């Protein structure tokens, strides 16, 4: 069974500082990995995805993530935080299910606060 662990339910950074949100996954097969962002009272917006191509993935809004198989990690980073980055971030894992059913398995989320 797949699972995702996001270390830190709440991360606070200063504006302009590095953002690092941690995600570790468990999967018995090569996974597909995703980061989504959720703003209050909205659905989830895809930031980036890893689908077995390049291990360093660049996404929208200056975010990127690196797939490290040896560490079963897919941490999300951004060099310089903006106030607009304050939101809830979810890491998710999927694979190619037998019937084509490929639901995402989500972590519990990390709330990012950005301090001026």
Partner 1 sequence: GAGVSQSPRYKVAKRGQDVALRCDPISGHVSLFWYQQALGQGPEFLTYFQNEAQLDKSGLPSDRFFAERPEGSVSTLKIQRTQQEDSAVYLCASSFRQGGNQPQHFGDGTRLSIL
**Rule CB under 8 A: which residues touch partner 1?**
4, 31-32, 34, 36, 41-46, 49, 51-52, 90, 92, 94-97, 99-109
Work out how close the CB of 38 gets to partner 1 at its nearest, in angstroms, rounded to a whole number.
9
Measured from the CB of residue 85, what is the shortest distance to partner 1 in angstroms?
Answer: 19
Closest CA to 95 of 65, 58, 52, 60: 52
Nearer to partner 1, 43 or 116 (CB): 43
Q: Measured between alpha carbons, how far is 63 from 53 in angstroms, rounded to an integer?
A: 17
- Nearest residue (CB) to partner 1, 36 versus 67: 36
Closer Cβ to partner 1, 41 or 70, answer by number: 41
- Nearer to partner 1 by Cβ, of 53 and 56: the residue is 53
C-alpha distances (whole Å) from 2 to each of 35, 50, 64, 116 are 16, 16, 23, 38
As measured in angstroms, the least distance from the Cβ of 80 to partner 1 is 26
Which residue reads 């996001």 in tokens?
Answer: 6
Q: How far is the CB of 35 from partner 1 (least distance, A)?
A: 11
Burial class (CB in 10 A: 0-12, 13-18, 19+), 35: buried
Tell me how far apart the alpha carbons of residues 30 and 42 are, in angstroms, rounded to a whole number: 30
């Amino acid at each position: 069974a797949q699972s995702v662990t996001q270390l830190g339910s709440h991360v606070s950074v200063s504006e302009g500082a590095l953002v690092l949100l941690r995600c570790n996954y468990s999967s018995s097969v090569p996974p597909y990995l995703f980061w989504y962002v959720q703003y209050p009272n909205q659905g989830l917006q895809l930031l980036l995805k890893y689908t077995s191509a390049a291990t360093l993935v660049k996404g929208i809004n200056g975010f990127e993530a690196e797939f490290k198989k040896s560490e079963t990690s897919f941490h999300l980073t951004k060099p310089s935080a903006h106030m607009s980055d304050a939101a809830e971030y979810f890491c998710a894992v999927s694979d190619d299910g037998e019937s084509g059913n490929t639901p995402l398995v989500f972590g519990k989320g990390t709330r990012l606060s950005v301090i001026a």
